[in-house]
Structure 1
Amino acid sequence: MNADLISKRTRNAFREILVGWTLAEITTEFDNEGFSADLDHAPSVDGQRRTRVEQLYHRIDFSDPRHVSRLLEVYQTVVATTRNYNSETAQTLLDHLHRDGVDTSGTSFKVPLRGHSSLQPLGAVAKIFTADQLQTQIARINASIETDPALAIGTAKELVETTCKTILADLGEAHGSLDLGDLVKATTKALKLVPDGVPNEAKGAEAIKKTLRSLGATVAGLGEMRNFYGSGHGQDGRARGLTPRHARLAVGAASTLAMFLFETHHARGS
């Protein structure tokens, strides 16, 4: 289960401000953003207004950026209304949002970006290797998994390619214009994948190579699928594109492969 993008502390803070609104005002503001109350939900809170807010919250997926984006429209109105009579309280609400990572500096509040968990350690490695291109790709993936899965998948493929080329360049190996599969093969060949002296060393290395090739093939396969679901060629109006779950599969495979290659490279003392 994904983590909530808006914390319970923040939700409760806004709920307590909404206690000062009428039931009609509360319902209308949420309805403006497409939210309706679950009237069958019986929360353990006191008062009609608190109950109504919790019934509205009950139908919101706080881990879904699309739901949270609409909720932030509600919260932005609450902050603006509160500022008219109590600027300190409005600032307290903003402080709660800032703690959750919400950007309130623009004309609309922005959903906090939580990076794909498997990319976080890879980001640290990118800094060590001063691989700016890799950092750019990680940021692009994090920003597009939910909103543009095809872009995230394509970038995941580029991330593996960049990883292989970075390691090969570090080892003084030429990589030319190899495709993804050949890049992974060349990189695994350049890296000694198991320590010296391990029993059945050759068999162990081959098993690892098969696993890495499979991860690379997963990323490449999803990249090829992206072309079939692309926006070109006047597709059927009912055609559906790749979804965030496909993007998470590609990103998971790409980051696992990239991290293993980088860690192996580091373990070799390079």
Structure 2
Amino acid sequence: MALSPLEISTFYQLLDRGGSVLDFTRGALDDFVGATIGETPCETYQLPMMKSLRACVKDLDDERLFKLFSALFEYYEQHYKSEYAASPAGYRDISYRRERADQVELCKKALTREHSGLNPFAQSSECLKGQFSSEYMSQQIDALNTLRNENPTDAIGKAKELVESCCKTILKELGVIVQTSWGMSELVKATMKVLNIATESVSDNLPEAETVRKILGSLSGLVGGIAEFRNHWGSGHGKAADFEPLFRRHANLAVGSSITITEYLWNTYLWRKETGKLAS
């Protein structure tokens, strides 16, 4: 699941203070967001404070968006309780306070729902910044195998995220700058190149060269297929009211493909690291 446009809009209503974000200065907001998800919206986007935050939010995946809004909502609750709390007499004395209370309740319910929905994948977003590990991969694969039966739509979205997490970690560990514009295909292509397993890296001297190239080329096709699966039927995008999710067999296909790609890339990375064959 993901926060709906209405829910995101409600968060903005709580945070927006005439173009500012609560009582933050630009520097303080960058420090807060940086400590939470590693982004600096004001410095990065060079827009007015609230517009910078909105621009940053548009570039976040569901997990990092959830983490950011959770932190901002917690800050709001700690510093702005007078805006929405009941009066000593037991009622909210002005319409403004009632409106704020309704907004707080909607945000709280949305975060509670998302927290519950993200439990199978409730690892810190730090996994996308270098903490991906063999243990983490095993946990996510186990979770995917469960989720593809319980919620095929979410499974398709998480299958793509697993591959992306793996690629981003390998690229960061090897000093490759990941461009924000890169999609899944670009991430996998760059990862295969740095691991020296791209089709053009296969030596013609190998007797099985052509076969290896075919297999590696098929992996590239799988990557494109998973990305299209997620874009059309996964949990990463809003859906129309008449949206019909795919059957479990389609989730099984996406999950199985993502596991195959992730295990291959990660095991290749570990093998090259252990044998000293990583590119310097």
| TM-score, reference length from structure 2 | 0.43
Richer in helix (by share): 2
| TM-score, reference length from structure 1 | 0.44
Larger Rg: 1
